[in-house]
Amino acid sequence: MLLSFNSFVSSQNSIKTDTVKWSNYQMIIELPTKSHSHYETYEEGFFRTISCFSDSTVITIHCGAMVNLPLVNQAKYTITSKFILDNDVRVLRGYCDSLNNGIKRKRYFREENYFKSGITVMYENVDESKLIYYDYILNSIKIINTKKRP
């Protein structure tokens, strides 16, 4: 089953592995090959916004402090699930309705807050047909503590 899932994901869109370094942490994430990244830094960290060329999805990576979490505008979305895993990771999911050429469609988001590392990753504006692809990206994230222990 896993082999067929990986084949499906890679055939849908090309992906590249990227590393994001923050403080004593390193996040390894797979991102769409056909995308553009924009960085915004501030005193306590940075935002990296990835615009995906194959659709209108936006992936946001935030590393730092002094921001209100969750990042997503909850007033805009219907929240379908929210859970906290071991006081370390919060996952929030939902959707909003949008009109495209007079056709009503759901556009999905998912936000993951990794509290210990100060890293947040989210996707938004995902069409239902692409959910498996973008869920694969968030499910594949690895966060490594690079601080050497004595």
Domain count, the chain: 1
Mean pLDDT of 6-20: 70
Sheet with 142-145, strands from edge to edge, namely 15-22, 25-32, 142-145
**Predicted pLDDT at 5:** 45
Write the pLDDT tens digit of every residue in 120-132: 999 999 999 999 9
8 A C-beta contact, residue 145 and residue 24: yes
Q: What is the mean pLDDT of the chain?
A: 89
Answer whether residue 34 is part of any domain.
yes
**Predicted pLDDT at 103:** 84
pLDDT top residue among 101 and 37? 37
Strands 25-32 and 15-22: antiparallel
Answer whether residue 150 is part of any domain.
no
53: domain CATH number is 3.40.1000
Write the pLDDT tens digit of every residue in 40-80: 999 999 999 999 998 999 999 999 999 999 999 888 899 99
Q: What is the extent of the structural domain holding 103? A: 2-145
